[in-house]
């Protein structure tokens, strides 16, 4: 911390000397403004100090952990391992469904954090840099092929495939082992904003900016999915073999299309399967969600009440419960277990709620543009059990079966917390691995898929499969 003499000298150097004759009230406003500017300078200095400390601690600890981490991760020598330190709360981003999105300024007038929170956060960051390194993570797979930002990623239970939805109007099914696109769906006429696999069948549910939701057949060629390709093989291949190997199967016709009378009047931002798989839920910018019957493709019930556009919908994995998130800073819990459905409103965020997901132990985790993630008990809608404070908006988060929250951020970072709000790790982001633009979505694999525990996607058009070894796994 600089002395008062040094602070006065810095203000004078910046041409901010205090006028001699200023009205008393105006003088107070002036002095407070200078204090605020000085604090921002100190904040930036602390960030630089944190970066230096991280570099020093990581350098000292990497050698001692590298051999153990390599054995535990069981990764190939070509995949760089990074030992990740515990970090303080962080940044994230919201997903607007069409078009690109610029990062918000950390020091914009509407986004300043209270001084007390800044001091506490920076102190915790510096102290946490000296804690033991306990989480090992690295990029195991990269999936490239989309021509625009990727909105959502989903893993298929029991099969080594991955699904992605993109603003390039397509959805893709990828082979995790080969890293290749096995099937491309082109049936939508707008941005594909979400993707969800059927639990038991080879079906996929997608929502789009064209105002519809589609169910389509995700039948993939397993012979192609198992074939990787090395440089030696490429030298031996003929032109016809190379062309055949690089050909991507394309599907244009859905099995079911949810639209028409009683349907949505605007962008469908998200869709999900209900637990019995015979109904789906969709959410739209027209401020309503709709419960649909899959067999008849007819709307069963509109879910209205939100004051602004919906941003996300999510269904409970085993019960007939649905949550809808909105830009009105609330999310709602809809209960379809009884003939007369009930609704509960959860208030606590101060800006758009960007995602809401259920946990295995009947909690709900919500992320918001107000830079917080909150954990709620389903039976208590008045106050959150846990609040995780970050310094940027939060995008579509995910919770593992073990209760680890993966938070994607606008600042290209992915951070992990537990349900009690304790920070676990920050996934590495360097020039050689990690996202280069905002991370829009993450998804946990219910069981490790070829050493990939977590998947992420972003508006750099990249999709990654991560190996994440948590302390309990070491």
Residues of the chain with pLDDT under 50: 1-22, 61-62, 64-114, 123-133, 229-236, 242, 474
Specify if 173 maps to a domain: yes
User: Which strands form 289-293's sheet, in the order they lie side by side?
Assistant: 268-273, 279-284, 289-293, 299-303
Task: Residue 269: name the closest of 396, 418, 377, 391 by CA.
Answer: 396
- Tokens found for residue 170: 């397509």
Task: Residue 188: name the closest of 169, 216, 165 by CA.
Answer: 169
Task: Name the domain count of the chain.
Answer: 1
Specify if 274 maps to a domain: yes
pTM: 0.71
Task: Look up the CATH number of the domain holding residue 284.
Answer: 2.130.10.10
Task: Say if residue 98 is exposed, middle or buried (CB neighbours under 10 Å; 0-12, 13-18, 19+).
Answer: middle
Specify if 35 maps to a domain: no
What is the per-residue pLDDT for 23? 64
Q: Please provide residue 8's backbone torsions phi and psi, each rounded to the nearest 5 degrees.
A: -65, -40
Q: Residue 233, Cα to own-chain centre: how many angstroms?
A: 37
DSSP state of 244: H
3-state secondary structure of 37: helix
- Tokens found for residue 317: 């994995």
- Tokens found for residue 408: 């994607």
Angle of CA points 389, 391, 394, to nearest 5°: 75
Task: Residue 284: name the closest of 300, 301, 299, 306 by CA.
Answer: 306
What domain range includes position 254? 136-218+247-469
Specify if 42 maps to a domain: no
Task: Residue 356: name the closest of 277, 426, 444, 270 by CA.
Answer: 270
- Tokens found for residue 253: 């016709």
Contact 220, 183 (CB under 8 A): yes
What is the per-residue pLDDT for 246? 63
Instruction: For strands 82-84 and 135-143, give the pairing.
Output: antiparallel
How many CB atoms are closer than 10 A to CB 38? 17
Specify if 125 maps to a domain: no
Specify if 49 maps to a domain: no
User: Which strands form 414-418's sheet, in the order they lie side by side?
Assistant: 398-399, 404-408, 414-418, 423-426
Specify if 241 maps to a domain: no
- Tokens found for residue 260: 């028409």
Specify if 141 maps to a domain: yes
What is the per-residue pLDDT for 292? 97
């Amino acid at each position: 911390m600089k002395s008062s003499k040094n602070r006065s000298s810095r203000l004078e150097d910046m041409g901010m000397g205090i006028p001699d004759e200023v009205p008393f009230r105006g003088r107070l406003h002036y002095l407070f403004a200078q204090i605020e500017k000085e604090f921002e300078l100190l904040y930036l200095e602390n960030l630089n100090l944190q970066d230096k400390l991280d570099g020093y601690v990581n350098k000292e600890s990497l050698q001692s952990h590298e051999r153990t981490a390599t054995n535990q991760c069981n990764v190939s020598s070509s995949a760089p391992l990074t030992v990740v330190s515990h970090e303080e709360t962080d940044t994230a981003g919201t997903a607007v469904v069409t078009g690109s999105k610029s990062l918000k300024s950390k020091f914009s007038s509407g986004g300043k954090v209270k001084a007390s929170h800044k001091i506490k956060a920076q102190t915790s960051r510096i102290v946490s840099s000296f804690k033991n390194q306990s989480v090992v993570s690295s990029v195991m797979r990269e999936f490239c092929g989309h021509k625009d930002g990727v909105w959502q990623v989903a893993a298929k239970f029991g099969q080594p495939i991955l699904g992605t939805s993109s603003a390039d109007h397509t959805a893709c099914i990828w082979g995790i082992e080969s890293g290749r696109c096995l099937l491309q769906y082109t049936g939508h006429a707008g941005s594909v904003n979400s993707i969800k696999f059927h639990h038991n069948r080879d079906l996929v549910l997608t929502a789009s900016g064209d105002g519809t939701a589609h169910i389509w057949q995700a039948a993939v060629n397993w012979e192609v999915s198992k074939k990787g390709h090395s440089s030696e093989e490429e030298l031996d291949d003929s032109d016809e073999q190379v062309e055949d190997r690089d050909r991507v199967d394309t599907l244009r016709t859905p099995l079911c299309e949810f639209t028409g009378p009683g349907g949505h009047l605007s962008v469908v931002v998200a869709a999900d399967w209900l637990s019995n798989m015979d109904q789906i839920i969709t959410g739209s910018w027209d401020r309503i969600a709709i419960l649909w019957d899959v067999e008849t493709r007819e709307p069963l019930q509109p879910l209205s009440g939100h004051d602004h556009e919906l941003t996300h919908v999510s269904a409970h994995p085993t019960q007939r419960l649905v949550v809808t998130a909105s830009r009105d800073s609330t999310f709602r819990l809809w209960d379809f277990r009884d003939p007369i459905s009930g609704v509960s409103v959860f208030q606590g965020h101060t800006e758009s709620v960007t995602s809401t997901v259920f946990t295995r132990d009947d909690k709900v985790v919500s992320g918001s543009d107000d830079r917080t993630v909150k954990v709620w008990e389903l039976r208590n809608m008045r106050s959150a059990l846990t609040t995780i404070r970050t310094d940027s908006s939060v995008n579509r988060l995910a919770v593992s079966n073990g209760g680890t929250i993966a938070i994607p951020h606008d600042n290209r970072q992915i951070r992990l917390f537990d349900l009690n709000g304790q920070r676990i790790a920050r996934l590495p982001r360097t020039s050689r691995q990690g996202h280069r633009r905002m991370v829009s979505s993450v998804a946990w694999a219910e069981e490790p898929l070829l050493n990939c525990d977590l998947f992420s996607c972003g508006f750099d058009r990249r999709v990654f499969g991560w190996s994440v070894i948590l302390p309990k796994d070491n």
